Amino acid sequence: MCLSAQAQTPAESRRQLLHYLESGQLRDAVLLGQQTVSRWPRDPLFRHYLGVAYFKSGDAKQAREQLLRARDLDPQDSATHFDLALVLFSEQDYLASATELETAIQITPSSAPAHLLLGRAHLSSKRELQAIDEFKTALKLDPMIRLGHYYLGFAYASLGRNDEAIAEYKIELQRSGELPELTYQLGRSLLESGKNDEAIKYLQRAAQLDPKNSNVWYNLGKAQLLAGHAEQAEPALKKSIQLNPKDPSPHYQLARALDKLGRADEARLEQERFAELRKAQPAGTGMATAGDQ
Q: 82 and 89 in contact (C-beta within 8 Å)? A: no
Domain limits, the chain: 1-74, 209-281
Task: Kindly report the number of other CB atoms within 10 A of residue 41's CB atom.
Answer: 11
pLDDT one-digit tens code per residue, 166-199: 999 999 999 999 999 999 999 999 999 999 999 9
Quote the pLDDT of residue 280.
Answer: 86
Assigned CATH topology for domain 209-281 = 1.25.40
Is residue 212 predicted with pLDDT exceeding 70?
A: yes
* Residue 287 pLDDT class (50, 70, 90 cuts): very low
The predicted model gives 214-222 an average pLDDT of 98
Across all residues in the chain, what is the average pLDDT?
Answer: 94
- Examine the pLDDT at 275 and tell me if it is beyond 50: yes
pLDDT for the residue numbered 140 = 98
Per-residue pLDDT of 37-87, as tens digits, reads 999 999 999 999 999 999 999 999 999 999 999 999 999 999 999 999 999
Phi, psi of 274 (to 5 degrees): -60, -45
For the domain spanning 1-74, the CATH number is 1.25.40.10
The confidence band for 289, taking pLDDT boundaries of 50, 70 and 90, is: very low
The reported pLDDT for the residue numbered 4 is 59
pLDDT digits (tens, 9 = 90+) for 83-137: 999 999 999 999 999 999 999 999 999 999 999 999 999 999 999 999 999 999 9
> What DSSP character marks residue 210?
-
Tell me which DSSP letter residue 3 carries.
P
Domains 1-74 and 209-281 belong to one CATH topology: yes
In three state form, how does the secondary structure of 68-115 look?
HHHHHHCCCCHHHHHHHHHHHHHCCCHHHHHHHHHHHHHHCCCCHHHH
Query: Are the C-beta atoms of residues 83 and 52 closer than 8 Å to each other?
Result: yes
Q: What is the mean pLDDT of residues 4-25?
A: 88
Asked if 220 and 257 touch (Cβ cutoff 8 Å), the reply is no
- What are the helix (H) ranges across 177-248? 180-192, 196-209, 214-226, 230-243
